[in-house]
């Protein structure tokens, strides 16, 4: 494995931890994970093809606006993976 891959894996996977559900079916994230992701009270669970992301709600809506502006200002074609995406 090259050094760049190793660094990225350490940064991303090094924060992984096992999470449990409580009796109400809620996922209990470790405080270190909540702090790392800057999660506050309200969060968004966002599906991303083969994974999901947890976002602080306000940060998510800001990112959506940023992504919309970026998409409107680019002429880059969509990847074949996204061209086949159906909702």
> What are the pLDDT digits (tens) for 15-45?
777 888 899 998 888 888 888 889 988 999 9
User: Given this model, what pLDDT does residue 39 score?
Assistant: 92
Joined tokens for residue 77: 């074609």
- The mean pLDDT of 51-72, rounded to a whole number, is 92
| Greater pLDDT, 31 or 12 | 31
Which of left, alpha, beta for 83 (phi over 0: left; psi -120 to 50: alpha)?
alpha
User: Given this model, what pLDDT does residue 75 score?
Assistant: 81
Nearest CA among 64, 63, 54 for reference residue 15: 54
Q: How far is residue 43's CA from residue 78's CA, in Å, rounded to a whole number?
A: 28
User: Given this model, what pLDDT does residue 58 score?
Assistant: 96
Whether residue 51 is predicted with pLDDT greater than 90 in this model: the reply is no
Q: How far is residue 21's CA from residue 3's CA, in Å, rounded to a whole number?
A: 36
| Residue corresponding to tokens 């449990």 | 20
User: Given this model, what pLDDT does residue 65 score?
Assistant: 96
């Amino acid at each position: 494995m090259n050094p760049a891959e190793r660094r990225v894996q350490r940064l991303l996977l090094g924060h992984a931890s096992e999470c449990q559900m409580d009796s109400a079916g809620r996922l209990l994230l470790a405080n270190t994970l909540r702090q790392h992701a800057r999660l506050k009270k309200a969060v968004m669970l966002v599906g991303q093809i083969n994974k999901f992301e947890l976002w602080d709600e306000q940060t998510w809506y800001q990112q959506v606006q940023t992504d919309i502006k970026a998409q409107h200002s680019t002429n880059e074609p969509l990847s074949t993976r996204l061209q086949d995406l159906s909702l």
